[in-house]
Structure 1
């Protein structure tokens, strides 16, 4: 395990463009990306060096749970408890796109 600059232990982190997500993967925002709220737009936003991405409610809900502690399966389960229906494949597809853009990193479970 390597230690991050904040002193937390972490196993190998990877960005696997195009690869499927495992239910045991633990997604987290990349170090250069931040989830925030735009008071001007009254919407959650994803900030990264190249641009600002305005998120819809479900995208923000997914990313709020991408803390490196929750697994993909736990994120789907938590969202299922909050909302009536959460398509597992749509959550995985959303996270796969963000991994491909290097905005989300996966830590082995």
Structure 2
């Protein structure tokens, strides 16, 4: 498996849906076999994943939204690599 790069374009895998779940009071990732409750950081990242934006564009959007946060690029790359390993997303 190749390393995740800023030029990659992530998209949710078929059958997965990102949404706010009032009953859980958090964002979740729904899929046919279940649900993943997401923390705020994961939700902020997955909320940017649309199948069109590169990881670099996602990082830029999050830097604009959270200018006081350091290490956004590393956090995004690390999270998306885990998401890919768990088969939540595909990279193009």
Q: Answer yes or no: same fold by TM over 0.5.
A: yes
Q: Who is 1:106 aligned against?
A: 91
Q: Is 1:44 aligned with 2:52?
A: no
Give the ranges of 4+ consecutive aligned residues of structure 1 lying more than 4 Å apart after TM superposition.
none
- The structure whose residues are more often helix, as a share, is 2
RMSD of Structure 2 on Structure 1 (CA): 1.2
How far residue 37 of structure 1 moved from its aligned partner, in angstroms, is 1.4
Say how many residue pairs are matched.
90
Larger Rg: 1
Q: Among 50, 53, 59, which residue is 2:42 paired with?
A: 59
SS at 2:11 equivalent? strand
CA distance in structure 2 between the partners assigned to 1:81 and 1:31 by the alignment: 29
The TM-score, its normalising length taken from structure 1, stands at 0.76
Mapped partners of 1:69, 1:86: distance in 2: 25
Q: 1:105 to 1:45 in 2, by over 3 A?
A: same
The offset of 1:86, in angstroms, is 4.6
Contact 1:36 1:44 in 2 (8 A): yes
For structure 2, list consecutive stretches of 5 or more residues without a partner in the other structure.
none
Any gaps of 5 or more consecutive residues in structure 1?
A: 1-15
